[in-house]
Amino acid sequence: MPRKPRKGYFVKGQFVAEGSELDLELKRALKGGLEVSKTDLKRESAELQSLGEQLLELRSDLSAALALPDKLVDALRDVRRISDFEGRRRQMQFIGKLMRQLEDDTLQAVRAALQTQRQGSAEETAALHLAERWREQIVADDEALSRWISEHPGLDAQQLRALVRQARKDARAAEAAPAGQTPRHGRAWREIFQLIKEELHG
């Protein structure tokens, strides 16, 4: 006859059986002023489940460096295959439970990896916005074009000037388009962006 699972809970990745010496010690500590409300525990549980959901979006290189328990890795892989709403919700609750069993240093590593990914995305977005601003200035103003060329001597200035001439020509044609028709940028506009982006990243 299979043994009934022990009742208890996890504290910082360690299982605490109800009625055990550690359980009694923790309850005494709570009564001694280290009050942790059910609301606080619920909030922590929700935060860890949310952290588990964010792990689904973590890049594989960052995820591999975390050395997560196999059970959690399998659960994360399984949830990606579940399309049923209720099944997915239950699986995410299971992932939340596994997250509560992680050691503090592992949780800290998870948060750091997610922050690294967010920071990288923010930097990429900022670089794209910078390239867009430069493109607009270069196409609108010869002085900006000359400044860009002088600051980037390795760039093919002749090619860039030809693309700028074409982009300006396309812009004039777009302005002359019939009313109600959405103006569209031509190929030169996109190629200027690529050149600037590559130069900024280089």
pLDDT at 128: 83
Per-block mean pLDDT, blocks of 10 residues, the chain (202 long): 64 76 72 58 78 86 83 89 89 88 86 84 80 90 90 88 90 71 73 87 68
- The token duo for 25 is 């010690």
Nearest residue to 192 (alpha-carbon basis) of 153, 150, 136: 136
pLDDT at 34: 46
pLDDT at 137: 92
Domains of the chain listed by start with CATH number:
8-116 (no CATH), 123-201 (1.10.60.30)
pLDDT at 163: 92
pLDDT at 66: 84
Query: End-to-end alpha-carbon separation of the chain, Å?
Result: 67
- Angle 38-42-45 (CA atoms, 0-180°, nearest 5)? 140
